[in-house]
A = this chain, B = another copy of it.
Amino acid sequence: MNQQHTAAVIVIGNEILSGRTQDINLPYLGKRFDELGIELVEARVVRDVPEEIIHAVNHLRESCEYVFTTGGIGPTHDDITTECIAQAFGVEVERNPEAVKCLNDKYGDKNVTDARMKMANIPVGATLVDNPVSAAPGYRMENVYVFAGVPQIMQAMFEGISSELIGGDPMLTKTISAHMQESQIATTLTQLQNEHPTISIGSYPFYKNECYGVSVVSRGTDKNELNALDKKLQNMITALGATIIALT
């Protein structure tokens, strides 16, 4: 069930913690990692506080194969990710000529202000990641990818580098939802989990339009085994007299 290739995501920014902005980068990356056969093992949302960013980066780059940060690489005073990445790796920040060229090509020499040029400051030793949306590049520092927070840009950066990530078999998911209660299926689910140890079975209750329901989510890389389990789950629900309301 555990995949060989692991990733962590660090979401940098007070705006997510304040509840002002709903992060949509994590769900996007989670789905893409599934397709690429990489397991997302942890996500952290941290404040714009250098020591907290540095700590998260240094902890997770040791424990995971890939780390992805989102946010904090713009031109304003609250964009401190690059300084933190440099400190985490013990290197300096330099004005990167390739990044300068990206910004000049996009905006023309005259429109490249000092503030905008801050986005050409990159830690020494990093490899740039293309930003086809607004030019200011992301970068990779060893196993840490540093991306923008704006979802369109983050997604474009990720898709630009996704082919260089080493993954495994894609993680496949099957979901069955029905109006039932978890306690009705708990014993059978435990049994089915024991019968299918390579599949991860999750049970997620919901409460919608005054009705209780449960989504049973099966995740694994072996399609045949997933299908076999799926039939058993459908039988379990039918035997309860519950109606399946969604099947994906």
Which residues on A are within 8 Å of B, measured CB to CB?
13-22, 24, 26-31, 34, 40-48, 52, 74-79, 113-116, 118-119, 133-134, 149-150, 152-153, 171, 173, 175, 182-187, 189-190, 193, 200-207, 212, 217, 219
Contact = CB atoms under 8 A, between A and B. Distances in A.
Nearest to A200: B14
Main SS of chain A's interface residues? Answer: mixed
| Count of this chain's copies in the oligomeric assembly | 2
Contacts of A28: 19
26 contacts: A13-B204, A14-B200, A15-B202, A16-B30, A17-B30, A17-B42, A18-B173, A18-B219, A19-B28, A19-B29, A19-B31, A20-B173, A22-B27, A41-B52, A42-B52, A43-B45, A44-B44, A48-B202, A77-B186, A77-B189, A79-B203, A115-B186, A115-B187, A116-B186, A119-B183, A149-B204
A212 B31 contact: no
A128 B150 CA distance: 41
A198 to B, nearest CB: 15
Contacts of A204: 13, 15, 21, 149
Nearest to A212: B134
A85 to B, nearest CB: 18
Contacts of A152: 207
